[in-house]
Structure 1
Amino acid sequence: MRVEKTKSGQLIYSVSESQSSNRNASNTITTPKGGQYRLTLPDGSKAWLNASSTLYYPLHFEHHERRVKMTGEVYFEIAKMEKRQHGRVERIPFYVETAHQEIQVLGTHFNVNSYPDEPGIVTTLLEGSVRVTSSLNGESILLRPGQQSFLDKHLVVSTADVEQQVAWTAGDFVFKSEPLTSILRKVSRWYDVDIVCPPHLGKLKFDGIVSRSQPLTAIMDMVEITGKAKLKLIERRIIVTD
């Protein structure tokens, strides 16, 4: 494995197929709070891991399929791979497993948000096509570019705000009519702080764009300037009040 560090502090991991003689060897990459890693998988596919995320992957992919597991949030750019079988050229599918769903990919760009503290799993498709299957009830849907699926008890498809969903890969927070509870979950993961927020204030919605390189106070100011709520930082805890 080769590790590089970018000017922005992002770590880049590169893995080659020839690094291990054990065909069953696997690896695990976990990002800390406030961390963001970019990983090149053995097949050339790329994965960007948001804060507090984990990716499990083999050091050697099988000839008939490629399969990884994840928690947290990961943006994927999947390389196309083909094999010749019975005189025909077939694509080798790529699978992403989360706690309650499986995504089948042939070659595409997509984002998966599967943090345990989120209301459900959100899969957003930028390019290509993916099939999302729920392991809870077997429901299956085919996503097209610009669509996203939401899995709680059932799979629901809607039009995605792609810019908002993948803004983190460009180093930004983008909030568009977003509930304060959702904003604070992202803040907690990135700045490594605890949150105390009454339910009635958590429903308030906010808009804004803040660079993730800005200090925590930048997001606190974004909220407070609206006059809807007050945020106080005490040690490593944000307390929200009227």
Structure 2
Amino acid sequence: MTREEYILLYEKCIQGKCTAEDKRELDEYQDDFSLDNLYWDEDRLGDEHQITSSIYRKLQKSIKHQRPKKLQWYKLPLAAAITLMTVAAGIYLYFNTSSDRTKQQTQIADKIVAGSNKAILTLSDGKQIALTDVNNGELAEQGNTRISKTADGKIIYEPSTTSGSSGKAVVYNTVSTPRGGQFQVVLPDGSHVWLNSISSITYPSNFSGKERLVQLKGEAYFEIAKNPEKPFKVDVIGKQQIEVLGTHFNVEAYLEDHEIKTTLLEGSVKLLAQNKEVKLKPGQIAVNDLNRNLTIKQADVEEVMAWKNGLFVLNDVNLKDVMKKASRWYDVDVEYQGNVSNKKLWGTMSRYKDITELLENIAITSSLRYKIDGRRVILMN
């Protein structure tokens, strides 16, 4: 077992997800994590005792700020091992990056901050309203409906009181988010929709007829207002339809991923995809692989809902999948150098901190290095 594998297995056990076999491997793994064989260059690195002591103090400060948890049988020896391993990693980074320290500090100074609430509302006549910059209050009137922006930053649809408005035709609006954006919309029926980055939803200004139909691209979380007489339907990138009466669910459907993930949190939904009709139960996820087939399994709801809850939750997640989400949220391009396809990540961190925290966590848990060049992130072995 490599040290990298040891760390991943340790993190897995910390979260209570390791098997008896995993615990046996941890018991059998022997490594002294000694720093004795590490050459220390005083001219480049400075005083060895001061540097290692500083790293230890930072580790202890981090540990003290964590909520106390009941220790399990494997945590005490592992904690010591991981601490020593992290010190070794810190020293290694000092050794290998000191010549580029000034350049790195310049790059860090230009922080890549997290995304925020921003979106564009496109009206039926093609007019676009930047929802980030516009003042609160009424934005427009579409058909029989008045559109307003609330003080807490979402847009809502309400029946218009303008005389003669009842004869107006229903028209369609689209709310779209850019890279680094997210937004909340309250639809004309009172349903709530949260849009993730690079996503859009198209809907009528007023739900008339026998159904409530919207079109989605990208990712969104829905809380649907109940109306048994008028089912709510979501057309997902023209490849899948979801039908609900009143429920909470998440849909992830980015064209470049070639799959649609539908996760049910509450209620029930019916999916129409690949000439099949299936029903989901709460806690299930349907993965519609557009190049293969449709599968249903238990969902990691915490991980699925992390984006809406302002988090990155990584439970044995592939590095490239993590960076795909990071690319959309931080509005960056990602480049890989070397073989990193088999890297798996564990951990939980805030989505609202700058990208450096995410990259530092990746560097520690996967033994990778990173570089920030403008709005380009490079990950390398």
Same-fold call, TM > 0.5? yes
Q: In 2 relative to 1, CA 18–199 (structure 1 residues): closer, same or farther, beyond 3 Å?
A: farther
**Alignment check: 8 A CA contact 2:344 2:366 kept:** no
Deviations 1:181-236 (A, max 9, x none): 10001110000000112583033110111111100001000100124311211111
Deviations 1:92-131 (A, max 9, x none): 1100011210001111000000012224110000000001
Q: Structure 2: which amino acid aligns with 1:4? A: T
CA separation in 2, counterparts of 1:227 and 1:145? Answer: 33
Q: In 2 relative to 1, CA 68–199 (structure 1 residues): closer, same or farther, beyond 3 Å?
A: farther
What's 2:157 paired with? 15
Match of 2:223 among 77, 87, 99: 77
Alignment of 1:29-48 (within 5 A): 29-48=175-194
CA separation in 1, counterparts of 2:255 and 2:216? Answer: 11
What's 1:86 paired with? none
Q: In 2 relative to 1, CA 199–30 (structure 1 residues): closer, same or farther, beyond 3 Å?
A: farther
What's 2:278 paired with? 141
**Alignment check: 8 A CA contact 2:177 2:197 kept:** yes
What's 2:211 paired with? 65
Q: In 2 relative to 1, CA 5–222 (structure 1 residues): closer, same or farther, beyond 3 Å?
A: farther
More helix by share: 2
Count, aligned residues: 228
What's 2:355 paired with? 216
Q: Structure 1: which amino acid aligns with 2:180? A: G
**Alignment check: 8 A CA contact 1:195 1:237 kept:** yes
Deviation of 1:18 (Å): 3.1
SS at the partner of 2:308?
helix
Q: Structure 2: which amino acid aligns with 1:239? A: I
What's 2:306 paired with? 167
Match of 1:50 among 153, 172, 196: 196
Percent of aligned pairs with the same residue? 40
Deviation of 1:4 (Å): 3.0
CA separation in 1, counterparts of 2:322 and 2:252? Answer: 14
**Alignment check: 8 A CA contact 2:338 2:380 kept:** no
Deviations 1:44-78 (A, max 9, x none): 00000011110101001123100000111000000
Question: 5+ residue gaps in structure 2?
Answer: 1-146
Q: What TM-score results when the alignment is normalised by the length of structure 1?
A: 0.89
Q: Structure 2: which amino acid aligns with 1:18? A: S
Of stretches 28-37 and 38-47 in structure 1, the one that deviates more from structure 2 is 28-37
More strand by share: 1
Q: What TM-score results when the alignment is normalised by the length of structure 2?
A: 0.58
Q: Structure 1: which amino acid aligns with 2:154? A: I
CA separation in 2, counterparts of 1:198 and 1:234? Answer: 14
Q: In 2 relative to 1, CA 70–17 (structure 1 residues): closer, same or farther, beyond 3 Å?
A: farther
